[in-house]
Amino acid sequence: MGLTYLGLATNLLIIVYTSDMFGRYYPDLSSLEVFVLVVVLEHVLIGSKLLIDYLVPDVPSSVRISLAREAWLADRRVHINGTATG
């Protein structure tokens, strides 16, 4: 997970400092202002990533339901047979 944040910051720095992206639109920006802009953009992107992580579940609901059903069926089989394995 830390690599995600490190990669995000590194890629953003590479894009900003190797391209003339901000220089074309904002030619008056100093190096400090560009750095502050990079830090702000990084925080916006990290916030977006965290929001997406929160909104999109890791396991789809259909898979979660299937796993719960399989666990319930396995529990029923153990109770019906009267033996527990494991």
Domain that holds residue 75: 59-86
Q: Does one domain contain both 8 and 23?
A: yes
Q: Does one domain contain both 67 and 49?
A: no
Say what the pTM is.
Answer: 0.64
In the DSSP assignment, the letter for residue 15 is H
pLDDT of the chain, 86 residues: tens digit per residue: 789 889 998 998 888 888 887 778 888 888 898 889 889 999 999 999 999 989 998 888 899 999 999 999 988 887 777 665 55
Q: Does one domain contain both 38 and 64?
A: no
Tell me if 45 sits within 8 A of 51, measured CB to CB.
Answer: no
Distance CA 65, CA 75 (A): 15
Number of C-beta neighbours around residue 29 at 10 A: 14
Q: Does one domain contain both 8 and 47?
A: yes
What region does 30 belong to: left with phi over 0, alpha with psi -120 to 50, or beta?
Answer: beta
Q: Does one domain contain both 84 and 47?
A: no
Q: Does one domain contain both 23 and 9?
A: yes
Q: Does one domain contain both 50 and 86?
A: no
